[in-house]
Homo-oligomer: A and B are copies of this chain.
């Protein structure tokens, strides 16, 4: 079980790369399985042998993309010991990464609607969200009972600014705004209500 397994894996990788490009360029709906077949030179039967369907193919693409992003983020924060500095570095790295149309379109725009919000969220949990939550916890700046929700909100806020940058907003302004936003979220506000 060697030559065959290798050939299968190679085929899967080839299809995955092509599908990633097409999904990113045209979006999920406007990417036909037909196009993937044509570009890969594969037959219908072969593709459906490796991937259960279009959804499954998309999910595999998403998983691979998230995994790659996770690796790059870990690299970005490597060696930074101060939790706040690490959090900031990770967030800024993520904003730059999300400028990549592949990530923008696949991870941030199509994924929730294609996979369903629940499953998308579950996958995010294992990658970017998980990392951000851990980093946020390490700073100790957020009360434990709000940690999960604040991590969600912060990630959503950062994703949003990443999308704005990707759309053509000014990168430096966005970075400054995000840094200020982050500072505020990490700073306990004075109680004001009676």
Write the residues of chain A forming the contact surface with B, with a CB cutoff of 8 angstroms.
27-29, 109-110, 112-114, 117-118, 121, 143, 145-146, 149-150, 152-161, 163-164, 167, 169, 173-174, 176-178, 180-181, 183-190, 192
A177 contacts which of B149, B157, B169, B187 (Cβ < 8 Å)? B149
| CB nearest neighbor in B for A190 | B187
B173 touches A153 (CB 8 A): no
Bound-complex Cα distance A143 to B180 (A)? 10
Copies of this chain held together in the complex: 2
Bound-complex Cα distance A110 to B156 (A)? 16
A-B contact sample (8 more), CB < 8 A, given A153-B177, A181-B185: A109-B113, A112-B112, A143-B180, A149-B177, A156-B160, A180-B189, A184-B184, A184-B188
Bound-complex Cα distance A66 to B5 (A)? 52
